[in-house]
Amino acid sequence: MNYKTLTTLTVLLLSAKIIVAQHAVRYDVSFTNYKHHEAEITINVDELSSGPVLFRMSRSSPGRYATHEFGKNVYNVKAFDQQGKPLDVKRLEGDLYEVPNHKGAIKLSYTLYGVHADGTYADIDPTQAHLNIPASFMWVKGKEKSPVEVKFNIPEGLNWKVASQLDYKPNDVYYAPSLQYFMDSPTELSNHFQRSWQLKNPDGKQQSIKLALHTIATDAEVDNYTEMVKRLVLEQKAVFGELPNYDFGNYTFIQNVNMYVKGDGMEHRNSTMITNQGAFRGNEIDLLSTLSHEFFHQWNVERIRPKTLEPFDFEHANMSNELWFAEGFTNYYGTLLLKRAGFYSFDTYCMMLNSCLNSVLSLPGAKQYSPVTMSNQAVFVDAGVAVDQTNYPNIFVSYYPYGEATALALDLRLRTEFKNLTLDKFMQLVWQKHGKTEIPYTNSDLQKLLGEFTGSKDFADDFFNRYIYNAEKNNYELLLGKAGILLRKTAPEKAWLGDFQPGQSTYRGLKIASATQKGSPLYEAGLDINDIILSVDGQNISDFSAFQRLIAGHNVGDRLTIVYDHRGTNNSTILTLQENPYLTAITYEQAGLDVTAAMKKLREEWLGMKATSVN
Ligand SMILES: [Zn+2]
């Protein structure tokens, strides 16, 4: 193509762009009844072609994979034309409204109710308007590509500031280039602390990091916490070598720490919405741990994006095959980077591994199902709400610890079976291939890339076939041993009969309130959910702790008579106690074992600080 053709084409394309440029969908938000947790929201939309227009509340929210009934907290839905004349509104479904007739422009208004501050819902209160967008804003079908402008009318005297990844424009307008971006942009209006700092990327571009912290603290305490966040951010940046280029030049941590929120953390493209229930003072490292996980997501899931989540569907659950990587590997780094940044000691880091190792090595779900199958379950378990019982104790293990343990194994295998390879370097490669380019990946893309990275297709195929597509487990005892970490039984030779959730004790006995675990003595003896344990070994059972004490007094292999009520009928059976299957990771030092120079070297390379002042 010669230059002239190119120029002509450019002119044509530019003029085409001018023709198709769309008017923004404009929202106006007021909080006149904020004391009673209501907001008034209006949507102004024009350039509508003739025919019915659909307005809907979402049923899912970015980063949350189950469906939610956001439509239940929306009411007083009314529509008007440009002259303010009422238009008919039909409610087609719980969360779907139709305006059948109009003259090209509609103003639709509604009331939103919200008393649930977390990473998904809305909270409107004199202390804040905490708005996750799918839970708060209706949208117009057919206008998904239009830009969005929002105006917040802050009640007088409240001193609210606005924290959001939406772009701030003149006249107090907050802007999103499309519906996808808008839905991904939680916004908090509150009287919060604000801090910000700049970091330079290798390409010379400055990226700005902002902290919007809504809590009770002194300025000095917030300054101190900000320094901790800065250290962690540098350690995160060191994994990939750079920060992403933020869409509007900045990334915002929105962190809400008080008694009135639900504990949560939700990643977004250029921000995160974190809610920690409790006090700020004295809990800084816990607060940092949520932040660490969410910040890592700006690379892994926001830009290194599973193909199954792209584009995000706001009307259905979003099922993914790759959450073992998107969430699990993020979990691995969330904890690891707190160690590298010096917030965890080596002993603490080992202790932090216990939960993921036990999930993967001891729970029935992980023995049967692969990380991919468990990723699919997110559509039910990720804050999904149901009234009926599930068999999760037997068929589910979370893709968070499953993926985390898989990342741990892969990292240690790369470090010990190859020369100069690490998971950091693999993540950098994934970042270059799929993150910077924003080409969504599949599991087979990752498998292929691991083959290229290691120079061994056999290694990658074997790893994926055994540990990702199937439920085999890496040899954690061997791998951790190379770093001088001992994986051993938590309670060797102590009797165990299986975990279950205890129900309320009744005068008759102890109720089993969850499915019993396949393979456990209770399960094998035929007991299951809703059975009431009446006596064990001739002793009446009154409560859970007495029951636990009784079992602890026995030996592995003991056979006990258990009497239980099953739907009104008394039954008696014999169960055989097993050894407690749970594991604990401790340092060789704690175990009184020798630590070799090779172990020390591996520990330093794996867990030592990577960030330098030039980062
Ligand atoms: Zn996450």
416-467 pLDDT, tens per residue?
999 999 999 999 999 999 999 999 999 999 999 999 999 999 999 999 999 9
pLDDT of residue 178: 98
Between the CA of 15 and the centroid of ligand 1 the distance, in Å, is 42
- Confidence at residue 16, expressed as pLDDT on a 0 to 100 scale: 45
Range of the domain at 348: 323-485+587-607
Check whether residue 349 and residue 376 sit in a common domain: yes
Task: Clarify whether residues 410 and 467 are in a common domain.
Answer: yes
Distance 330 CA to ligand 1 centre (A): 7
Please check whether residues 514 and 555 belong to one and the same domain.
yes
CA 516 to ligand 1 center in whole angstroms: 29
Ligand 1 centre distance from Cα of residue 267 (Å): 7
- 356 Cα: distance to centroid of ligand 1 (angstroms): 15
Q: Are 290 and 342 in contact (CB under 8 A)?
A: no
Distance 81 CA to ligand 1 centre (A): 43
Say if residue 51 is in the same domain as residue 168. yes
Residues 468 and 349 in one domain: yes
Q: Identify whether residues 211 and 247 lie together within a single domain.
A: yes
Is residue 310, in this structure, part of any structural domain at all?
no
- Report yes or no: 544 and 504 within 8 Å, Cβ to Cβ: no
**125 beta partners:** 128
Contact between residue 58 and residue 70 where contact means Cβ atoms under 8 Å apart: yes
- In this structure, is the dihedral angle defined by the CA atoms of residues 278, 282, 287 and 289, taken in order, positive or negative? negative
Distant-in-sequence contacts of 466-470, Cβ < 8 A, 24+ apart: 467/371, 467/406, 467/409, 468/324, 468/370, 468/371, 468/372, 468/406, 468/443, 469/370, 469/372, 469/443, 470/370
Look at residue 307 and tell me if it is in a domain.
Answer: no
The verdict on 225 and 338 lying in the same domain is no
Q: Kindly give the distance from the C-alpha atom of residue 402 to the centroid of ligand 1, in angstroms, as a whole number.
A: 13
Span from the CA of 546 to the centroid of ligand 1 (angstroms): 38
Q: What is the pLDDT of residue 20?
A: 60
Q: Is the dihedral of CA 484, 489, 491, 493 positive or negative?
A: negative
Shared domain check, 464 and 593: yes
Q: How many domains does the chain have?
A: 4
* pLDDT tens, position by position, 170-213: 999 999 999 999 999 999 999 999 999 999 999 999 999 999 99
Is residue 1 predicted with pLDDT exceeding 60? no
Q: Specify the pLDDT at position 613.
A: 54
Distances (CA, A) of 589 to 292, 357, 371, 491, 600: 28, 20, 33, 19, 12
Q: What is the mean pLDDT of residues 250-267?
A: 98
CA 328 to ligand 1 centroid distance, Å: 8
Residues 164 and 58 in one domain: yes
- Give SS3 for 467: helix
Q: In this model, does residue 233 exceed pLDDT 60? A: yes
Indicate if 116 and 199 belong to the same structural domain. Answer: no
Those residues whose beta carbon sits under 5 angstroms from the ion ligand 1 are 327
* Ligand 1 centroid from CA 373, angstroms: 18
* Percent of the chain's residues with pLDDT above 70: 96
Same domain, 453 and 342: yes
- Mean pLDDT score, 481-487: 98
- Residues, the chain, total? 615
Q: How many CB atoms lie within 10 A of CB 207?
A: 19
Residue 252 Cα to ligand 1 midpoint, Å, equals 16
Q: Phi first, then psi: what are they for 393, rounded to 5°? A: -55, -20
Q: Is the domain of 513 the same as that of 563? A: yes
CA 215 to ligand 1 center in whole angstroms: 23
Strand bridging mode 53-56 / 96-99? antiparallel
Ligand 1: distance of its center to the CA of 28 in Å? 31
The answer to whether residue 615 scores a pLDDT higher than 80 is: no
